Amino acid sequence: MAIRSVENLEVGGRRVLVRVDFNVPIENGKVVDDTRIRAALPTIRLLIERGARVVLASHLGRPEGKPNRKYSLEPAAARLADLLGPDAEVILADEPVGDGARKVVADLRAGTQVAMLENLRFDPGEVTNDDGFARALAALADCYVNDAFGAAHRAHASVVGVTRHLREKASGLLLERELRFLGKLLGTVERPYLAVLGGAKVAGKIGVIENLLQRVDALVVGGAMANTFLAARGVRLGRSRIESEKLGIAAGILARAAERKVDVLLPTDVVVARTIDDAAGEVVPIGRVPEDAMALDIGPATAAGFRDRILCAKTLFWNGPMGVYEKPAFARGTLEVARAVADADALSVVGGGDSVAALQAAGVAERISHVSTGGGASLEFLQGGDLPGLKALES
C-alpha cells in the first residue's frame, strides 16, 4: 500500500487538515476516556514542532446532520489543551465549515496554536460524502493528514471526499502504527496464534472469523455470540440471546474450523440471571441454563480455561467482551481475559471499546503490544477488505 507518511510531508507554515478520531465518551461536559485523544498526540506534536498551522477535524456521536450542543467537541478541545500544556493553544471553531471556521484558520499562528473544527457531523454532507462539503473542508488547508484509523472504514467527506481536492495527503503516526500491528496479524506470525472474539453478535464478525480461520491455531469465543455457536451444537440456553438466523453460519464455521484443525474454545460454564439488572448471577454448567434465565458472562471454569490457552499463545488478537461488561455483576469474565492477554508472552493486539475499557479497568493496558483505536475498522481490515480511508490515501 503506497501511502505517504506525515514525516515526509513539508508542513512548515502550511495549513494541515488532520482528520483525528475524537469520538470519545463525555459525561457532564468532561471527557471520561481520553485514549483516542492521547493516541493522536504524536502526530499533532510533530506538526506543531515543524511549524505547521494545524487544523483538526473529527466527528462525535450521531447528531443527525445538524448542530446539537450535546455533541459539541468543546470538551475534547479542552482535554487536548490540557494534554498539550503550554506547547499550544487550542481554538475551537463554532462550525465545521463556513465563515467562522475560515476565520479561525486564517488567524491561526503556526507552531503555537491548534484549530479544531466543530463536529463534522453537524453538517449532513459529512456522512453522505457530499462533494460540496468536502470541497469546503479542503479549502481550509494546503495538505491533508488522516490519523483517524477508527473512521477509515467510513466513506465520509472528511475521510474520502476531501482527498480529491487536496493533492498532498499522508497518513499520521497513529494510522501508521495501526497498520503496522494489524498488518502483522495478516502476515507471518509466531505461533501459536490465537484470536479471542466476544461481543453480542456473530453477524458483525463473520468476515473476520472466516479470514482468521485460515491463519490462527485456535479461536476463543465468548460473549453472547458464543451462545449462537453453542446453540448450533444443540445446547439449550434458556432465554439467552441467540441469533437464530445465524445458526447455519455458526455451524458452518465450526465445521470449517474442524477441517482446518483450528481449535474452537466455547464456554463450559456461564453466569446466568433473569435480567441484566440483577445484582448478582448464578454459575451453571453449559446445558443447565434455567428456562427463565439467560447467560450474561462466562463462568470461572471457562475463564480459567481461556486463560490457560491464552498464556500459551505467541500472537494474540482480542475483540469483544465476554459478557454484559457494563454491568459489574457480569464483568468478571472480561476482566479475567484482559489480565490473561496482558500476562501472555506474546504479540498482543486489542481492539473494540469494551475490550479496551476492560484493559484500563484491570490496569493492564500498558502491557499490551498495541491497543487499536478502531474496533470496527480493525475488524474490516482483518477480514481483508479495502478500507475507503486507506484507499483514498494511496498515491
What residues are labeled active site?
A: 36, 201, 353, 376
Q: Which of 157, 152, 186, 184 is nearest to 171 (CA)?
A: 152
By DSSP bridging, strand 53-57 and strand 26-27 are: unpaired
CB neighbours (10 Å) of residue 254? 18
CA nearest 58: which of 115, 118, 142, 113? 118
Scanning the structure block, which residue is given the C-alpha cell 441454563? 289
* Separation between Cα atoms, residue 230 and residue 302, nearest integer Å: 14
Contacts of 381 (CB under 8 A, 6+ apart): 152, 153, 179, 182, 387
List the grid coordinates of 220.
476463543
DSSP 5: B
Name the CA dihedral angle for 120, 124, 126, 128, rounded to a multiple of 10 degrees. Answer: 160
Contacts with 141 (C-beta within 8 Å, 6 or more apart), sequence order: 15, 16, 17, 55, 105, 166
| 124, HSE (Cβ side, Cα atoms, 13 Å) | 2
What are the respective helix, strand and coil percentages of the chain, to the nearest 5? 40, 20, 40
